[in-house]
Structure 1
Amino acid sequence: MSVQVKASVLHSAKDLRIEPRDLSSPEADEIQIRIASTGLCGSDLHYYQHFRNGDILVREPLALGHESAGVVTAVGPSVSNFKAGDKVALEVGLPCGKCSRCEEGRYNICKEMRFRSSGKSFPHFQGTLQERINHPAAWCHKLPEDVSLDVGALLEPLGVALHAFRRSQMHDDATVLVFGAGAVGLLCAAVAKLKGAKKVIIADIDAGRLEFAVQNGFAHSSYTVPMRRGKDTDESLAIAKETAEAIGKVDSAGEVDTVFECTGVPSCVQASIYATRPGGRLMLVGMGHPVQTIPLGAAALREVDIVGVFRYANTYPESIEIVQQAACSSDGPDFSKLVTHRFSGLADASKAFEMAGKTKDADGKLVIKVVIDSSDGAGSKL
């Protein structure tokens, strides 16, 4: 038996349409979920604004959304670990489960990965911006009562931060620098802090975001990056060195043990290399310019490891523990405050995407994470 649900579907740049879709009963190994909170991320925004994300083109109408949580409405006959009414977060990347990378537990880099709201695989794997959706129970994670659905949706980008932390091999009492105070940068800072970093410095060009980061316990201190650009490579690298030196003076940090670069901006990547101590690690988290000029010799001569980060693997259970740990911490971080704007109903999806593309709203309030409640019922903040 099938029911009809509404979905927000992208047909071209900024052309979102609400369309009916037939939703069958869940398959034997699936659960059906009322989607109650979906956070908009940078890739969603690229698809919305350009109908592409870098080199990935959208080739058919696509429902966006992949940072999602909701409430179980039905379960397949083979599912025993979920029941109607359970709150769940969705892990929306489905790997093949058979290749060498999957067998290693690194399913995030499976070549056959199908990821909801991405145009990479074809036919596209449709995203979560619809009222209800069927999803394999094996890739759903039950939320404790004390974790809200908005925070449940944040587990997806939090997984990126946790995966970056794991690959960083950060030691206790480390000094950490995070470039970029967007949602992922704030989450990287939070994870480093909760995992025992002695100092977490966050850097950005936006002083308002930095103030938010420190006041809400995501980082210990901050540095406002000056808006300067060099006229050529030599001048750009000189500015990057100056930026690294200035950051080293924040709280007498000196050269830092680990840098999480969450912008992808060439000047920040350059400064990150200079800021990292000999033998330290630079984590490339941000998806920015695909081709960059970097001082590779400065990294090689000091044995600075440059490590890539792509999505996440096996992070949801620990991410749930992290948000619960943070809730018990006296000095933050307060993950719930990352959600700065909420829109109810798919009819306002375009307004939500327009808001997500801003740094401040019309009232001057900071925009960090925009979420859409696409459910067909109340209760998005259970």
Structure 2
Amino acid sequence: MCSSHTAASPSVVQASVLHGAKDLRLETRELASPAADEVQVAVRATGLCGSDLHYYGHYCNGDILVREPLSLGHESSAEVVAVGKDVSSLRVGDRVALEVGQPCGSCARCTEGRYNICPEMRFRSSAKSFPHAQGTLQERLNHPAAWCHKLPDSMPWGVSALLEPLGVAIQAARRASLSDKKTQQVLVLGAGAVGLLVAGMCKVAGVPHVVIADVDANRVHFATQKRFADAAYVVPMGPRPASTDEALATAKQTADTITSLPGVAGQVDVVFECTGVPSCVQTAIYATRPGGKVMLIGMGTPVQTLPISAAALREVDICGVFRYANTYAEGIKILSTPSESGPDFASLITHEYKGLAAVEDAFAMASRKEDDEGKLVIKVLVTN
């Protein structure tokens, strides 16, 4: 029978390591025994996300440059294989979801519960801190037990890996105050994985009417077919605006069209902007009712021209959403009790690649909109 305190001997593990743009190498690393407050886990599933793709394709994410070889991946579920001597909350064999952000725990933001915006945050697979916090595309790793969330045995590894991006959607729903039940209709701009998860959380929170918009017709069709949204709009791809005035006029026209759709009762209570594209942020402001909210989730163009008076004169709140804090318990409850009438969260996992040797193929697929058979690409997993 397994002991609750089983320390692993120092060992060698395989890791997928990025050395430059599209330069992935399968390497071996030494792995020490877990520290007293850590557990050692075998990573079972890792989802690839947009930031991973940026690092893979450009060896940077915006203005954050990679300064040393980096393992990517942070959306992960794992199995405990060893525990540190001071750990009592977990045992060998437990299934866990990894919360990979490690805040300082003592600053003002941490003590008020907003540890996601801790200035000293170290986040696995991000190059913001140095030395970098290595990501989860490794066979095994040591992780603080406090940031490992125990999973029901019935929850599949792949679905469990959705808990990390779902946390972003839960954080957005909380900051939008959806739980007060006053929100009757929302608009989600962007039907990628995060946009779909946000739309799904809106339905879970009880929002009666969720509209989703994207330039990709297949994605918005998927959103309504899989019960993430009640209505959808395909944003037409027009010529690039020649001036700021033209861009703002186009954004306003898009907002007017969406808020005039059948079943949409004018401007919406909340817009969740999940693209970061300037035209979408502009549209979000125009589509929000007086006194409503725009939630900025997409990490896109860092400096933008916005119709700020259209927000200020109607008291539209513009709120940022960055990662998540204290969301895993709620996420586990949502994903472990799927509803036949609610969003089909498991359907977001569209492609799976087995083993670290297949990581490069997984990134190639994650960068596509459809596979060779015409199947939509949403969430790509690497499993071990």
Same-fold status (TM-score > 0.5) = yes
Distance 1:257 1:330 in 2: 27
The match for 2:127 is 119
SS in 1 for 2:127: coil
- Give 3-state SS (helix, strand or coil) of 1:371's partner: strand
5 Å matches for 1:304-315? 304-315=316-327
In structure 2, what is the equivalent of residue 179 of structure 1? 189
Q: CA offsets, 1:138-160, max 9 Å, x none? A: 00000112321111111000000
Q: Which 4+ runs in 1 deviate beyond 2 A?
A: none
Does the residue aligned with 2:219 lie in a helix, a strand or coil?
helix
SS in 2 for 1:27: coil
Alignment partner, residue 4 of structure 2: none
> CA contact under 8 A between 2:152 and 2:336: conserved in structure 1?
no
Q: Secondary structure at 1:341's aligned position in 2?
A: strand
Please tell me whether residue 239 in structure 1 is matched to residue 247 in structure 2. Answer: no
1:86 CA drift (Å): 1.0
SS of structure 1 residue aligned to 2:173 = helix
1:190 to 2:203 alignment: no
Matched, 1:292 2:304: yes
Aligned partners of 1:330 and 1:14: how far apart in 2? Answer: 40
Counterpart code for 1:126: Q
Tell me how far 1:174 sits from its aligned partner. Answer: 1.9
Match of 1:40 in 2: 48
**What SS does the aligned partner of 1:101 have?**
helix
The Cα of 1:252 is off from its aligned counterpart by 2.9
Residue identity in the other structure for 1:321: K
Alignment of 1:1-382 (within 5 A): 1-170=9-178, 171-172=180-181, 173-228=183-238, 229-250=240-261, 251-325=263-337, 327=338, 329-373=339-383, 375=384
Task: State the one-letter code of the partner of 2:254.
Answer: T
Distance across 2 between alignment mates of 1:351 and 1:322: 31
What's the CA shift for 1:330?
2.8
Unaligned runs of 5+ in 2: 1-8
Q: Distance in 2 between matches of 1:169 and 1:252?
A: 21
Question: Shift in Å at residue 83 of structure 1?
Answer: 1.1
Q: Is the 8 A contact 2:203 2:342 kept in 1?
A: no
Cα-to-partner distance string for 1:110-130 (whole Å, 9 max, x where unaligned): 111010011111111100000
- TM-score, normalising length from structure 2? 0.95
Q: Give the TM-score normalised by structure 1.
A: 0.96
Q: Is the 8 Å Cα contact of residues 34 and 71 (structure 1) preserved in structure 2?
A: yes
Kept after mapping to 1: 8 A contact 2:73/2:137: yes
| Counterpart Cα distance in 2 of 1:252 and 1:273 | 17
Q: Please give the alpha-carbon distance, in whole angstroms, between the structure 1 residues aligned to 2:198 and 2:266.
A: 20
Task: Say which SS state the counterpart of residue 159 (structure 1) adopts.
Answer: helix
| Counterpart residue type for residue 266 of structure 2 | G
Alpha-carbon distance, 1:324 to partner: 3.0
- Secondary structure of the equivalent of 1:227? coil
Distance in 1 (CA, whole Å) between partners of 2:335 and 2:196 is: 13
Which range is displaced more, 42-51 or 222-231? 222-231
CA distance in 2, matches of 1:324, 1:50: 36
What SS is found at the alignment partner of 1:62?
coil
Residues 176 and 197, structure 1, Cα contact 8 Å, conserved in 2: yes
Asked if the contact 1:174/1:258 (under 8 Å) is kept, the reply is no
Q: Distance in 1 between matches of 2:184 and 2:76?
A: 32
SS class of match (2:162): helix
SS at match of 1:63: coil
RMSD in angstroms over aligned alpha carbons? Answer: 0.9
Q: SS in structure 2 opposite 1:252?
A: coil
The residue type paired with residue 165 of structure 1 is A
User: Match for 2:252: what amino acid?
Assistant: K
Post-superposition CA distance 1:276-295 (Å, at most 9, x none): 00000000000000011110
Work out whether residues 182 and 368 of structure 1, in 8 Å CA contact, stay in contact via their aligned partners in 2: yes
Contact 1:101 1:107 in 2 (8 A): yes
Partner of 1:208, secondary structure, is: helix
